[in-house]
Amino acid sequence: MWTAKRFGMKVTRYFAGFGPTLFSFRRGETEYGLKAIPLGGFVKIVGMTPQEEEEEELSEEDKKRVMWRKPVWQRTIVLSAGSAVHFILAFVIMWIAAMFVGLPNPAFAKALDDVAKHPRINVAKCVVVANEQRDCNPGTDPASPAKNAGLRDGDTITKVNGTAVTTYLDLVKAIRATPPGPATLTVTTDGAEHTVTVDLISAQRTSLTEKGKTETVSALGVGGYLDPGVPTTMTYGPVDGIGAAGSFYMDTLGNTFTALKKFPEKLPKLWDAVTGSERDPETPISVVGASRIGGELADRGLWSVFLWLLASLNIFVGIFNLLPLLPLDGGHIAVAWFERARSWFAARRGRPDPGRVDYAKLMPVTYVVIIVFGAFTLLTVGADIFNPITLK
């Protein structure tokens, strides 16, 4: 709205929400208001297309202010302004998070990456025998074989029954391949190597080779080693926070593009979730799912992750709205620049200007996009209602 008015376009309506109007008021030539369905909002700019101008009864003065008659660069700025606000909001949210609740610590991320590279362990107090994602309960769950054998956090296991292991995954595979009962481990503690006998127990775990399949395997009761002295998040001052927020912003931006590329391959899994299969946590979520997860984060006091989620949603919406598909703003931008390029080529060849694109001819494609987006929205909302992703 602000950019349109700055360029002299006529803005008649500015509303939050869709559907029936709850209330509105007028300031100058613009009506502001709130509608009943809180799924977005809109700005009504007079004459976004030549066809719209023909359908509206406009004075000669207003005809000079219709959007489609303005330079293409001005229309591009106006159409991309909504996404720009999302991008700005995302950065501001990350900057606030950097100062007050923290951003992911790069050192912790590196330590997390290093976990899989070495067979160094953290020792659990007990073992969850069932294939469940929960913390173990020392009162009811069996004690960890590693703890019973005297292993300590930071120990490195180099052999299982004489078979060498060089990564944490090697260790997991070796333990799972060993029958429950006594097993001999070669362990390095503070630089000194020694041998330990452990009594492995049976547990249910997800197969490493067949997705979704549960197997009965041996368990040692350890995890990959993470240095407890490395904090998961870091807070910054107002100045340092700008750089930290910028770095996190670029990481999130890259991850968003990666996620968008994977959308098509996630659709079958999303359908499986709606029809009763286990929900893959990597499947897309709707505003319902995002709100649910946001509520769980707030309920647990995980405000840093709550703000990261809010920022990433703003980045996603900003990018999504710029996709070159009608009726998205990106589609209108694509049409405007196509018109510009077509006119330029015609002028170079000495031919008459072909004029504006007839939006009526684009309506079938627009309807297809609307139907596809609508179906996708219903699918994600359905999955988020009947088979939601929840925090572990």
At a CB cut-off of 8 Å and minimum separation 6, what does 111 contact? Answer: 226, 227, 230
What are the Cα distances from residue 217, in Å, to 163, 220, 281, 335? Answer: 18, 10, 24, 59
pLDDT value for 48: 85
Residue 205 placed within a domain:
yes
Whether 3 has a pLDDT exceeding 90, the answer reads: yes
pLDDT per residue as tens digits for the range 271-305: 888 888 888 888 888 888 999 999 999 999 999 99
d(CA 392, CA 390): 6
Domain span at residue 205? 111-224
pLDDT value for 278: 80
For residue 196, give the CATH number of its domain.
Answer: 2.30.42.10
At a CB cut-off of 8 Å and minimum separation 6, what does 117 contact? Answer: 167, 168
Residues 76 and 66 in one domain: no
Residue 389 placed within a domain:
yes
Q: Are 121 and 153 in contact (CB under 8 A)?
A: yes
* 312-317-319 Cα angle (round to 5): 95
pLDDT value for 73: 95
- Single-letter code of the amino acid located at 144: S
d(CA 117, CA 9): 59
Residue 229 placed within a domain:
no
Find the helix packing angle between 238-261 and 263-274, rounded to 10°. 80
Whether 170 has a pLDDT exceeding 90, the answer reads: yes
Residue 218 placed within a domain:
yes
Helix or strand or coil: residue 363? helix
12 sits in which H/E element: strand 11-27
Residues 213 and 127 in one domain: yes
Residues 136 and 190 in one domain: yes
**Which residues on adjacent β-strands are paired with residue 10?**
none
Residues 79 and 183 in one domain: no
Residues 34 and 87 in one domain: no
Task: Name the pLDDT band for 115 (thresholds 50, 70, 90).
Answer: confident
Helices in 206-261 by DSSP H: which ranges? 238-261
pLDDT per residue as tens digits for the range 118-143: 899 999 999 999 988 788 999 899 99
Task: Name the pLDDT band for 146 (thresholds 50, 70, 90).
Answer: very high
27 sits in which H/E element: strand 11-27
pLDDT per residue as tens digits for the range 12-31: 999 999 899 999 999 999 99
Residues 93 and 176 in one domain: no
d(CA 203, CA 196): 21
Residues 12 and 146 in one domain: no
Q: Are 339 and 76 in contact (CB under 8 A)?
A: no
pLDDT value for 216: 94
Q: Give how many domains the chain has, as a whole number.
A: 3
Q: Contacts from 278-284 at CB under 8 Å and sequence distance 24+?
A: 278/212, 279/383, 279/387, 279/388, 279/389, 281/389, 283/383, 283/389, 284/259, 284/376, 284/380
Residues 340 and 363 in one domain: yes
Residue 230 placed within a domain:
no
**Which residues on adjacent β-strands are paired with residue 183?**
198
Domain stop point among 224, 254, 273: 224
d(CA 325, CA 365): 9
Q: Are 122 and 224 in contact (CB under 8 A)?
A: yes
Q: Are 121 and 157 in contact (CB under 8 A)?
A: yes
Q: Could you give the percent of the chain with pLDDT greater than 70?
A: 100
Q: Are 253 and 322 in contact (CB under 8 A)?
A: no
Residue 133 placed within a domain:
yes
Residues 131 and 264 in one domain: no
Residues 55 and 190 in one domain: no
Residues 373 and 289 in one domain: yes
Whether 39 has a pLDDT exceeding 80, the answer reads: no
Q: Model's pTM, two decimal places?
A: 0.78
Whether 307 has a pLDDT exceeding 80, the answer reads: yes
**pLDDT averaged over every residue in the chain:** 91
pLDDT per residue as tens digits for the range 177-233: 999 999 999 999 999 999 999 999 999 999 888 877 899 999 999 999 888 888 889
Residues 286 and 241 in one domain: yes
Residue 376 placed within a domain:
yes
